Amino acid sequence: MALVVRPQPFSREVDRLFDAFFGAGTAESGRWVPAMDLWEADEHFVLKADLPGLSEEDVTIEVQDGALAITGERHEEDRQDGKGWYRFERSFGKFSRTLTLPEGVDPDGITAEFNAGVLEVRIPKPEQRKPRRVEVKAGARPALEGTAEEK
């Protein structure tokens, strides 16, 4: 019941699955896609996202229909025309990342903290359904009544 495959030999396949969960995007695509890590701990899943230049007010986290959506926007700084500008590599703009949650996750148990430009979201694992033992009781044995006749 993991969100992604277990970290056994890391390969391109893991990258492909991670991109399938979060959507792939690069600076060349013209939109900002913040880097995110996702791993499984004993009691919960942990998602960390690098969101430099943002504050907690710039980020929204919503849970709906079994999916966790993280959205936000990093605003472009004022560029002053003039001498000294040679490259513009930092991406700005809106972003949205969506993660499908395992069935049974309690949305009220999801917590998030924002510290030094890093968002950490903790997602509790769903409680495992335990088999329920059904007690088998001896039923009351019916009393046999009757008469015997010889023929």
- Give dist(CA 92, CA 42) in Å, integer: 35
Question: Which is higher by pLDDT, 23 or 128?
Answer: 128
Strand partners, 49: 36, 119
- Give dist(CA 79, CA 142) in Å, integer: 93
40-84 tens-digit pLDDT:
998 899 999 999 989 999 999 999 999 999 999 988 777 666 677
User: What pLDDT is recorded for position 143?
Assistant: 67
31 CB-near residues (< 8 Å, 6+ apart): 25, 91, 93, 94, 95
* For the chain, domain boundaries: 12-124
Indicate the range of 1-5, 11-15, 39-43, 115-119 predicted with least confidence.
1-5
User: What pLDDT is recorded for position 100?
Assistant: 92
Nearest one of 36, 31, 33, 1 to 15, comparing CA atoms: 36
User: What pLDDT is recorded for position 58?
Assistant: 92
Q: What's the burial of 73, exposed, middle or buried (CB within 10 Å: 0-12/13-18/19+)?
A: middle
CATH of 12-124 among 2.60.120.10, 3.40.960.10, 2.60.40.790, 3.40.50.620: 2.60.40.790
Segment 10-38 shows an average pLDDT of: 60
3-class SS of residue 113:
strand
DSSP category for residue 3: S
DSSP category for residue 103: T
